[in-house]
Structure 1
Amino acid sequence: MTSNIDSPHRHTQHTLNFPHLGTPSFDMRFTSTPRGARLSRRLSAVRLDAWGLPYGTEAHEAVVLITAELTANAVRHGHVQGRDFHLLLRVVERPGPTARIEVTDTRGERVPPRPGKLAAAGLADDGRGLLLVEGLATRWGWYPRKQAPGKTVWAEYELTAGGAD
């Protein structure tokens, strides 16, 4: 696990004081395996708690669930043998505090539909991850990587609207 991958919004800062926000940011690569997805979810939960968004709050649970779904999708649909996925979790001002989750994988030919274009998954055992993201996130989308094959899927959750209770 390293933290060197291209991102148009790269800010690495690991000492934070939420809610007095500088630019809280967590930035790391993980193995493109279910274990890597679980680890990224757990580390994100720990980081959010350290930033002052405690376990058990609506906002903490929503951001962790969004992170879990995006990283699971990177492993399941964006996996390329021997390549990692990258997670960037940060708090930005939009104008209020907003958690932004970006997950980058190296598989560019498999892209999600555009937001608002998701079909209901019906009774399928899978395929509901982005529906959950769309339901929880304030906004989400994706863009192709600029310097290498792959894509970044991102989601934002407004901490003021969703309850940093």
Structure 2
Amino acid sequence: MSPETSFIARYDEAKRAAVEDTLQKVVRAQGIAAIALAVVWGFVTLLPIAVVAADGQVTAALVLAVTLVVPLAIGALGVRQLRRRPRMPEIAVAITPTSVQFPALERPSALAPRVRAEQWVREGTTAEIRPASGLFQAPLVVFTRQDGGKLRRRTVSAENLDIDPRILVDALGGTASA
């Protein structure tokens, strides 16, 4: 492949929809679990407060009431998680004559930070296909770049792409090992 060639690797629509459905189920389950944990923790925390308040120790009851902040925060995170609607971007990676561009990715957890969009210089960026192993049921296209002593990596599932992943590897001069 010539360095002047541009490629846009998109996610296959059917597989993208399947991944988004799975993400929605995971997000919903996480939200429900967080709310359930908050309710249980709230009851466990509320019981000592009620006992101390019934004993007439108002200041101790107020101090213990502060401990209700934790289950309230977990409950708020659970509600926030239920409202999330994570979506996958249309484009997996774009390779232009001068750069390799990755879109921003939204993670299914409300606590995990969003993966920012990045643009790497094409020269010095390599790609390889890693076969499926362990928990990863599909081969991955691994993009690697060495930036001033810092190794940067981004991965894309080769199974979900609308083009042959070997085209991306060949465009960057990497190794297709799958």
Which protein is bigger by CA-based radius of gyration?
2
- Would the TM-score normalized by the shorter structure come out above 0.5? no
TM-score by length of 1: 0.27
TM-score by length of 2: 0.25
> Which structure: greater helix fraction?
2
